[in-house]
Amino acid sequence: MNDVIKYSFLFIILLLIQVVVLNNILFSGYINPLLYILFIIVFPLMRDRGLILVLSFLLGLFVDFFLDSGGINAAATLAIAYLRLPLLKGLLRKSDIDFLVFNITKLPFTKLLSYIAILTFTHHLIVFSLEYFKLSEILTILSRTILTGIFTFILIIFSLLLMNKSK
């Protein structure tokens, strides 16, 4: 399948799953999985990061539109899209990554888990920090970041396993 069609389909499917299903799920009253960041995690690396920045901003903006959240998801997705290449370079200890053959599923398991965890928890920390935006709510921000991050992390791992089984 053509990569443009494949990632367009993934963008739409993840957006629909997030908006229709996951936004209506609240565990323990406030844990809401944010699976849509999987798109940013699996999107191929490119020398020109402009496309992923625009797509991640649009993805976050669409989620914000449906959640009526005022742009916090757009800011968080844009931040992790910007951070993912330096993060990979740091995790792999390489100054130059071969963009054409790089595949997220080919990473060593521990580095893959680290990559997903760092991006997930960074995203959630930004979302909840902007949502509450008070220093007095730091415990709420941290607890929601950790609990939602763990649940999202597990969903992302299962989703990656399902995506790789289908290949």
pLDDT (mean) for 24-50: 84
The residue with greater pLDDT, 118 or 95, is 118
Q: Supply the pLDDT for residue 149.
A: 94
- How many Å apart are CA 30 and CA 46, to the nearest integer? 36
Tell me the three state secondary structure of residue 160: helix
The residue with greater pLDDT, 163 or 158, is 158
Question: Full-prediction pTM beyond 0.75?
Answer: yes
Q: Supply the pLDDT for residue 95.
A: 63
Tell me the three state secondary structure of residue 89: helix
Neighbours of 52 (CB within 10 A): 22
CATH assignment of 3-165, given 1.10.3470, 1.10.1760, 1.10.3210, 3.30.200?
1.10.1760
The residue with greater pLDDT, 149 or 98, is 149
pLDDT tens per residue across span 122-161: 999 999 999 998 888 899 899 999 999 999 999 999 999 9
